A and B are shown apart, each in its own frame.
Chain A
């Protein structure tokens, strides 16, 4: 996927003026927050679980090489094939070569953000293979030719009316006057269409929520059961994972699973939690003949041992974006790449470069709500600040900002001069505002005054008054 993160400001501006999008964002916004709150409140050990989950992942990341090796040997022993890929191109190649060998014409897909990261759909289409998204949200945006705008609710930016229109436009073989008023009617229609696709598919691709070192397994969680059909019916199941999905034991996964759905949707557990270890064994009633796991790095190993390592604890629950007032205002597409919201603002610069995605970690008030709800206790604001430091060090911060900041810091380190300067400025601004107490516009302050008035100073500065012995406002 070609990044458009440099265009963040324009993207955001467009999103703010998109009435349809704003309607969609406003409808869903509150639901996630309240549901998570209730789920967390109902589980007395929720906060303790967060500590445990953080510790599990920290430990795993400290010994990642060992766990990856252990997992590979278990996965291989179970009859699976492991494909290590450093870049998206290598991962695409690995998947394409499996599909080609099997003469695949059609591939069903469960929800996977990593397949967005490697842009597998266009690559499959170019090779004459039809990729079919089976997650309802993914199916909708595939019809619309869009990318996900949320990591667990990919079509959150689309209203129900839009979906109805899309279905009528695409599913032309169905009666034109059918009733699609209810959401359930839409779901049933998609199900009907997908059922045939599951049967036709030669290969099924899913993501992975976890890889388990102890057993060599992969795990996915879904609410629609589409993942199960995707991975059990075709000849081959390909799991698309990254190195940070690793967890040592089944016990560890159980701990983290107790947090995942609660943080994501407020459910105690997702409807389906599907465990895969190798292909179908002799005597198994169903399952794929081949089981492949493509494990992508794409810059993640470079974050190990750095101030960004903690972000690799992420379990992609989406809570940070659900609670982010910036995400709530502009939606996911404005972020310009695969991962939106606070997690995207930290992860994206690490994966595609801070020169490409530097806008993202800057577009935050550091309100801290993301960190407050992140089940893995990832200090997201702190890491956004680290990215700003990287930008500043490598002189990516805009020249005007650097100069202004330099001047201000210089002055801030000279209290005498600072008080003189601010004292004069305070009186001048106060005089400009006169008796109104505020300014409607001010040169160089357009960013502020375009949308709000600027409260004027009360006259002399506090320091000036204090020094002249005043102990209350004169």
Chain B
């Protein structure tokens, strides 16, 4: 490992860890291809959003401290999720009192936290990937990545360099899919209405694959598409950028 090789702590996210490890491996591959040394700290579980968005600040702060502890030694903290990266970057500091020791540590981690694709593009200056994909895709901009972190052009720029891939935009690609963490089970009917509209936009785009950068949204959209009998395949953008698309797509059988 050379001196200049950035040391990256991969924040896997609880959903990728649990549901779709292949995205975790795709993230590692992309980071290593871009010259990073990647580690996966053992002491990570979840970023704490379920507690945070349910109003439980105390538990959130405890979980945040655990994440900070596990990741503060790295040059960068990278998550294959705009939502979890946004949590570490935009929300952790506010959990702690201004001027406190914990706040300083949260600020430091916030500074070096990035969502995967924007990290590749903005920080590592990756301008092309070594991957092929035979098909057409449409890209959904997940809310946190889009509005909290301003991610929109980066995934599109890198997707444009995937051999054989055709990108076809959908209407309202940055309108919420209705996932919203616990929202989708607390208000299932409203969530269903939102994801139904999203599905209509996806289908109208006429592509054979749907991509996004957040597994929660992807599971929601894939679950709806499959329930409705759609053949559209759903994948995390990292899988396509890493050229790891031989596994079945999300919610797809073997």
Contacts and interface: CB of A to CB of B under 8 A. Distances in A.
Nearest to A12: B190
Contacts of A459: 21
Nearest to B178: A365
A393 B55 contact: yes
A455 B222 contact: yes
B138 to A, nearest CB: 18
A463 B252 contact: no
Given A385-B52, A413-B63, A453 B223 contact: yes
A367 B24 contact: no
B133 interface: no
B247 A409 contact: no
Contacts of A371: 147
Contacts of A436: 253
A415 B179 contact: no
A451 B219 CA distance: 12
A457 interface: yes
B189 interface: yes
B69 to A, nearest CB: 11
Given A426-B18, A438-B253, A463 B56 contact: no
Contacts of A408: 50-51
Contacts of B187: 9, 12, 362-363
A422 B54 contact: no
A2 B195 CA distance: 32
Given A16-B193, A445-B185, A473-B22, A453 B251 contact: yes
A451 B227 contact: yes
Find the residue from A326, A388, A411 having the highest chain B CB count within 10 A.
Answer: A326
Contacts of A13: 189
B57 interface: yes
A409 B62 contact: yes
Interface stretch (A120-128, A142-150, A464-472): A464-472
Interface string B36-70: 00001011111010111111110100110010000
Interface string B149-161: 0000000000000
Given A12-B187, A365-B143, A408-B50, A452 B227 contact: yes
Contacts of A471: 25, 28
B55 A388 contact: yes
Contacts of B164: none
B184 A453 contact: no
A448 B190 contact: no
* Size class of the B contact interface (CB-based, 8 Å): 35 or more
* Size class of the A contact interface (CB-based, 8 Å): 35 or more
A413 B66 contact: yes
B251 A456 contact: yes
A448 B194 CA distance: 13
Contact of B50 (A405, A413, A447): A405
A437 interface: yes
Given A12-B187, A365-B180, A415-B44, A329 B56 contact: no
Contacts of A83: none
Interface string B197-209: 1000000000000
Given A325-B175, A445-B185, A462-B16, A437 B21 contact: no
B147 A447 contact: no
Contact of A366 (B46, B180, B194): B180
Contacts of A413: 45, 59, 62-63, 66
A415 B43 contact: yes
A460 B19 CA distance: 9
A104 B48 CA distance: 60
B190 A451 contact: no
A410 B154 CA distance: 37
Interface string B214-254: 00000110111011000000000000000010011011111
Given A329-B194, A415-B44, A452-B220, A364 B180 contact: yes
Contact of B55 (A385, A437, A440, A446): A385
Contacts of B22: 458, 473
B222 A435 contact: no
Given A425-B18, A426-B18, A463-B17, A12 B63 contact: no
Contact of A437 (B53, B59, B252): B252
Contact of B17 (A438, A451, A461): A461
A33 to B, nearest CB: 9
A295 to B, nearest CB: 33
Given A435-B254, A455-B222, A461-B21, A369 B42 contact: no
B125 interface: no
Contact of B219 (A329, A422, A455): A455
Contacts of B224: 451-452
Given A365-B179, A389-B55, A389-B57, A453 B24 contact: no
B223 A422 contact: no
B190 A473 contact: no
Contact of B54 (A397, A437, A460): A397
Given A385-B52, A389-B57, A462 B12 contact: yes
B194 A455 contact: no
B176 A455 contact: no
Nearest to A323: B175
Interface string B1-44: 00000000000101011111110110011000000000010111
21 contacts: A13-B189, A365-B181, A366-B143, A367-B176, A369-B175, A392-B54, A392-B55, A392-B57, A409-B59, A413-B45, A438-B226, A438-B252, A447-B184, A447-B185, A452-B224, A455-B226, A457-B18, A458-B19, A458-B21, A472-B29, A473-B244
Interface of B: 12, 14, 16-22, 24-25, 28-29, 40, 42-46, 48, 50-57, 59, 62-63, 66, 143-144, 147-148, 175-176, 178-181, 183-195, 197, 219-220, 222-224, 226-227, 244, 247-248, 250-254
What 10 A-B pairs are tightest by C-beta distance, nearest first? A365-B180, A447-B185, A452-B223, A392-B55, A388-B55, A367-B176, A462-B21, A455-B251, A409-B59, A451-B192
Given A385-B52, A412-B63, 13 more contacts: A12-B189, A365-B180, A367-B180, A369-B176, A413-B66, A419-B42, A435-B254, A437-B251, A452-B192, A453-B226, A455-B219, A458-B20, A465-B21
